Amino acid sequence: VTSAVPLQYRQIFLRQRPDGIPQAEHFGIRTVPTPELGEGQFLVRVHYLSVDPAMRGWLSAAGNYFTPVPIGGVMSSFASGEVMLSRHEGYPVGARLMGMFGWQEYAVCDGSEVKRRIQDADEPLSLSLGILGLNGLTAYFGLMDVGRPIAGDTVVVSTAAGAVGSAVGQIARIQGCRVIGIAGGPEKVRWCKDIGYDFAIDYKQGDLGSRLSALCPDGVNVYFDNTSGEISDAVLPLLAVGARVAVCGTASVSSWSPWPMGPRVARHLLVKRARMQGFLCMDYEARYNEGIIALKSWIKRGRLKHREDILDGLERAPGSIADLYRGDNAGKRLIRLVA
Ligand SMILES: NC(=O)c1ccc[n+]([C@@H]2O[C@H](COP(=O)([O-])OP(=O)(O)OC[C@H]3O[C@@H](n4cnc5c(N)ncnc54)[C@H](OP(=O)(O)O)[C@@H]3O)[C@@H](O)[C@H]2O)c1
């Protein structure tokens, strides 16, 4: 086993704190020696790195839920891989894991980084970062627990073709809802329809408010909001009485400081007796297993489709967050380190 472990490996570190959306030049790449493992430690060979819009927040000092990655620190990231060397009884060589291993080829761990063990030998490691990881779980808990869909509801989803959004739309369909997706560009609109959205709108064509209004004569019962900004400005006036708005992400807001001003929504919430609630997937950590079981069973029955958008090589990671904010990804964006 020892012979398979290299003497050194590469990692991506934060060179300079970004002001807005992180770009490639904010990161550096360096080679470090593989350390000797201490008692209770193990070494994970990382196969896939996750790229998530939220990573922008992990670098920002403004209004956040994590201590920002320090200058010179390894970029934090969900990742999946396999234990190569171990001095920890609980994590033997060969264990397949998903956790916060960071943007690096190998990670020295003590178990605190691990989020999930991938037990099924035939489950691809990439799925634990997408449909069976942060994205699928965010869709599941955000929709079911915050959005609380009821059969017959009209559900509107922004970033409808994305990793989270595409799962939300399909889960809402499984709940018997009428589902409308909002996505950027004709290819994404087509994919939304392929996976079962009743309607999909390309917001880049303009006039979103009136097109959406025509599709929602009885209003919007659930809005799963991944963007905030102008898309939400168009959706919120259309809420139905008793609507639920699950605030999942703010992908359309390019600057957090100052936060852009927009229409004030209090009147819509008041008149429609609507509830708007933010949530973080990690709040549901104690219930992840429930979510994984549901997602797996829908995938198995062909009711939940997903797609992955994979780039090869660690050097692709630094520019990959900005790609998401240009909408360049078609599905879950991953970096593959092991072919
Ligand atoms: N609350 C949580 O715990 C949690 C967890 C995971 C993710 N999220 C949030 O969920 C959302 C989706 O994440 P994801 O990982 O599934 O990524 P994703 O949707 O696969 O990729 C991001 C997408 O955002 C859209 N976008 C980028 N800039 C935009 C703009 N200016 N206006 C409108 N849309 C824009 C693009 O889609 P188009 O091409 O369609 O514009 C892009 O493909 C993000 O807001 C993320 O922060 C929240």
**Is 135's C-beta closer than 6 angstroms to any atom of ligand 1?**
yes
d(CA 213, ligand 1 centre) in Å: 23
49-72 per-position pLDDT tens digit? 999 999 999 998 776 788 899 999
Q: Do 78 and 100 form a contact (C-beta atoms < 8 A)?
A: yes
Instruction: Please give the distance, rounded to the nearest whole angstrom, from the Cα atom of residue 19 to the centre of ligand 1.
Output: 19
**Residue 279 near residue 141 (C-beta atoms within 8 A):** yes
Give, for ligand 1, the residue of 159, 208, 245, 250 to mutate: max count of ligand atoms closer than 8 Å to Cβ. 159
Give the pLDDT confidence score for residue 1 in this predicted structure.
43
What is the spatial distance between Cα 75 and Cα 48, in angstroms, rounded to a whole number? Answer: 14
Selection from 1, 26, 19, 153 nearest residue 82 by Cα? 1
Angstrom distance (rounded) from CA 266 to CA 276: 10
Question: 37 near 28, Cβ under 8 Å?
Answer: no
- From first to last of the 339 residues of the chain, give the pLDDT tens digit: 445 789 999 999 999 999 889 999 999 999 999 999 999 999 999 999 999 999 999 998 776 788 899 999 999 999 999 999 999 999 999 999 999 999 999 999 999 999 999 999 899 999 999 999 999 999 999 999 999 999 999 999 999 999 999 999 999 999 999 999 999 999 999 999 999 999 999 999 999 999 999 999 999 999 999 999 999 999 999 999 999 999 999 999 988 888 899 999 999 999 999 999 999 999 999 999 999 999 999 999 999 999 999 999 999 999 999 999 999 999 999 999 998
Ligand 1 centroid to residue 53 C-alpha, Å: 6
pLDDT tens, residue by residue, 115-166: 999 999 899 999 999 999 999 999 999 999 999 999 999 999 999 999 999 9
67 C-alpha to ligand 1 centroid (Å)? 22
Q: Closest Cα to atom 43, ligand 1: which residue?
A: 327
Predicted local distance difference test score (pLDDT) of residue 65: 82
